[in-house]
Amino acid sequence: MKAKMAFRAVALFAATALAASGLTAGALAPAQAATKSTVTLLSAGNITSLNSDTSDGNSVYNATVESLTRMGFSYYDDKTKLVMNTRFGTMKIVKNEKDDFRIQYTVRPGQTWSDGTPITAHDLLLSHIITSNQFSIDAGLGDPSSKTQKPSFDSVGYSSTYGNNVVGDPVVSSDGMSITTRFKKQLPDWQLLAPGVFPVHALALMADGRTTLQPVNVGVTAKQTFLTAFKKKNTAFLKRMGAIWTKDYNVSKVDRNTNPLLLVSNGGFIVQSYTAGSSMTLVRNPRYSSGPAMATRNPIRTVVIKVITDNTAAVQALRNGDIDIYYNSLPTNNDRAALSAMPNVTLDTNVGGNYSFIHLRVSNAAQERDTYSGPFAGNSQRAKDLRRAFMLAMPREQIVEVLIKPLNPKASPLDTQFAFQGTPEYNTITRASGVSEFTRGTQAQRTAQALALVQKHFPNASATNAPVKISFVHANVALRNQIGALVAAEAKKAGFDVTSFASANLFGNRDNLSARHDASMHGFQLTSLAQSNATGIFKSDGANNAWGWNNPELDKILLRLQNDVLTPSQITKLRSDADKIIMSEYWGLPLYANPTITAFNKALKNVKTAPIGNNITWNFFEWSY
């Protein structure tokens, strides 16, 4: 019986043997074409949402995905220039009065979303809903600044320049291709306030419970439904949309069960699949026409974004070809050495919109518990002399030479916080600001001057005796600690006894920015090149003024930079005036622009790093193999 079974089994498979060998032989055709058309990017953090404007999804990693799926009015290029994307639309001032400032935004006709629905001015209106506090209140969607209740659209855009200045709601033109927005005053950075684009028809369809892509006419009707709800402030409908906008775009997985309406795109690519914390795949959007045309020779058909939180792992992944583009805004010498030794990789050093500085405390900052009474306190001659001496003794050239040049051979000390090196504005400002006092001569000469200043108030000070006790706080990372050591060593020669506090959680711990410390070292990241940049740091009531600085004359200048519509030369003039005051108050000095490293597969062409905005993906349309 059992022998029979065994025999039967053998016989059965012997009979199918021929068919089997035939099958296996035919199965070895290449999976895809021989020319590579996939670019694999690195995401140093988890992608959690397809909507980076919500309080949940507001991260640079989500914004990177959006930069591939949404094309709006402008983007920053690799020369930090704001490029107007006329393939998408244009904007112009239609009324320019002191209390009535109107801008018209026009969408170029003929563009469609990836589902075929035309792109129109309706798609610009969601931007208003998620940035105007007044609209949210008026439409019954909740007060965004409520302490207890989330608004329906839980966006990070409220209470900003747009929301604080917009008057009423934008008006849609009769042809439905432009909107006009009115502001209560002239706004200098109006170009940066351009509304973002969002597929409102998809949102409206989802609010109606749809879970599949719809024909174009249904999409167009949905746009009208949205416009009516927007104009009439239909609370119930808007609330449903808000719930979807706030929550449904948060994803841990994208697959064929995902509602395709969430994935509607007007960028170069459409999200196809995603597994949380692992990788996302985007495929080319066949209907892409909202930005510069894609490269024609060997363009990119697929973009994969791999989430790699470990930097060493990312470097090795580039070497192995697991990723094609590596980007690091906080590189170390080891990274650079490893990357430059790779045979198949192009290394590009740049500066990001990120710079480091040392600031000196003058008095207690807003909402401060303690009173500052250290050596730099107040504006007495003594305090000013000591601050000036400390600045003179800052070994900025040495810091750049020893610590930054290995990362960025082109680096030099940064002399102003109002402009980037290499721009004409930078030269104008630094020539006039009086920073030259801290760049003139050699460091030894400057340190000698510093010592002389200290000796005016502390006659016993000398290169071997440091009577002025300085408490210096900075983040506890290797680079900061090394800079801290250089600063302390040089300042000692000028009579300062510097104690460094390396804090693991610099901004998390209130005490770090309290009156306990005399000086602090930080980095600031610029997310745009607004005219009002850096005003928040130096204004007496600025959100980032943590050092108790206060100069009414400077406040006046900064207010003009914040509020007035100015010509570029006026801006430069005001900025150099401001910097002149800052230098004469001796509030501190910038150190250097933080270097960034981009390294990418040699076969890949036209990868350029933009210091501001989406550093790598801004010119995806130029990429090719």
Considering the rule CB under 8 A, would residue 316 count as an interface residue with other proteins?
yes
Please identify, using beta-carbon distances, which residue of 533 and 576 lies nearer to other proteins: 533
Alpha-carbon distance of 463 to 485, in angstroms, equals 17
Q: Closest approach of Cβ 15 to other proteins, in Å?
A: 8
Residues in contact with other proteins, counted by CB under 8 A, come to a total of 97
Per-residue tokens: 353 = 């919109």
Considering the rule CB under 8 A, would residue 527 count as an interface residue with other proteins?
yes
Helix, strand, or coil (residue 365):
coil
Q: Closest approach of Cβ 511 to other proteins, in Å?
A: 12
- The span of 16-24, 200-208, 547-555, 570-578 binding other proteins (CB under 8 A) equals 16-24
497-526 residues in contact with other proteins (CB under 8 A) are: 505-509, 513, 522-526
Alpha-carbon distance of 193 to 528, in angstroms, equals 11
Q: What is the largest CA-CA distance in the chain?
A: 112
Quick check: 283 and 304 in contact, CB under 8 A? no
161-190 residues in contact with other proteins (CB under 8 A) are: 161, 163
Q: Closest approach of Cβ 211 to other proteins, in Å?
A: 18
Strand partners of residue 283: 270, 302
Considering the rule CB under 8 A, would residue 24 count as an interface residue with other proteins?
yes
Q: Closest approach of Cβ 416 to other proteins, in Å?
A: 16
Please identify, using beta-carbon distances, which residue of 375 and 590 lies nearer to other proteins: 590
**DSSP output for 308-336:** ---HHHHHHHHHHTS-SEEEESS--HHHH
| DSSP H helices in 321-476 | 333-340, 381-392, 396-399, 424-432, 443-457
Q: Closest approach of Cβ 484 to other proteins, in Å?
A: 18
Alpha-carbon distance of 252 to 276, in angstroms, equals 5
From 298, 544, 563, 570, residue interacting with other proteins (rule: CB under 8 A): 544
From 279, 349, 416, 609, residue interacting with other proteins (rule: CB under 8 A): 279
Considering the rule CB under 8 A, would residue 253 count as an interface residue with other proteins?
yes
Please identify, using beta-carbon distances, which residue of 317 and 468 lies nearer to other proteins: 317
Sign of CA dihedral 44, 543, 524, 375: negative
Considering the rule CB under 8 A, would residue 334 count as an interface residue with other proteins?
no
From 96, 224, 228, 252, residue interacting with other proteins (rule: CB under 8 A): 252
CA-wise closest residue to 586 among 431, 366, 437: 437
Per-residue tokens: 488 = 């302390």
From 138, 175, 255, 370, residue interacting with other proteins (rule: CB under 8 A): 255
Q: Closest approach of Cβ 244 to other proteins, in Å?
A: 12
Strand partners of residue 326: 599
From 97, 98, 99, 148, residue interacting with other proteins (rule: CB under 8 A): 148
Strands laid side by side in the 279-284 sheet = 38-43, 302-307, 279-284, 269-275, 253-254
- The span of 5-13, 63-71, 220-228, 422-430 binding other proteins (CB under 8 A) equals 5-13
Considering the rule CB under 8 A, would residue 304 count as an interface residue with other proteins?
yes
555-614 residues in contact with other proteins (CB under 8 A) are: none
Strands laid side by side in the 496-503 sheet = 325-328, 588-601, 345-360, 519-525, 468-475, 496-503
- Position 503: which residue type? S
423-452 residues in contact with other proteins (CB under 8 A) are: none
51-110 residues in contact with other proteins (CB under 8 A) are: 54-57
From 77, 78, 208, 322, residue interacting with other proteins (rule: CB under 8 A): 322
Please identify, using beta-carbon distances, which residue of 37 and 584 lies nearer to other proteins: 37
Sign of CA dihedral 353, 311, 272, 38: positive
Considering the rule CB under 8 A, would residue 319 count as an interface residue with other proteins?
yes
Please identify, using beta-carbon distances, which residue of 119 and 475 lies nearer to other proteins: 475
Q: Closest approach of Cβ 310 to other proteins, in Å?
A: 5
User: Each residue of 337-367: b (16+ CB within 10 Å) or e?
Assistant: ebbeebeebbeebbbbbbbbbbbbbbbbbee
Alpha-carbon distance of 344 to 334, in angstroms, equals 18
Placement of tokens 């801004």 in the chain: 618
Considering the rule CB under 8 A, would residue 340 count as an interface residue with other proteins?
no
CA-wise closest residue to 165 among 197, 139, 188: 188
Residue 517 per-residue DSSP state: -
Alpha-carbon distance of 315 to 312, in angstroms, equals 5
Dihedral (Cα; 429, 435, 437, 440), 10-degree rounding: -80
Please identify, using beta-carbon distances, which residue of 278 and 380 lies nearer to other proteins: 278
Please identify, using beta-carbon distances, which residue of 468 and 561 lies nearer to other proteins: 561
105-144 residues in contact with other proteins (CB under 8 A) are: 144
CA terminus-to-terminus distance, the chain: 65
Report the DSSP pairing between strands 74-76 and 82-84. Answer: antiparallel
- The span of 81-89, 147-155, 448-456, 491-499 binding other proteins (CB under 8 A) equals 147-155
Q: Closest approach of Cβ 1 to other proteins, in Å?
A: 10
- The span of 20-28, 76-84, 222-230, 458-466 binding other proteins (CB under 8 A) equals 20-28
- The span of 19-27, 389-397, 438-446, 613-621 binding other proteins (CB under 8 A) equals 19-27
Q: Closest approach of Cβ 70 to other proteins, in Å?
A: 19
CA-wise closest residue to 149 among 246, 252, 244, 229: 246
Q: Closest approach of Cβ 160 to other proteins, in Å?
A: 4
Q: Closest approach of Cβ 560 to other proteins, in Å?
A: 16
From 96, 320, 373, 482, residue interacting with other proteins (rule: CB under 8 A): 320
Q: Closest approach of Cβ 522 to other proteins, in Å?
A: 7
Considering the rule CB under 8 A, would residue 5 count as an interface residue with other proteins?
yes
Q: Closest approach of Cβ 35 to other proteins, in Å?
A: 9
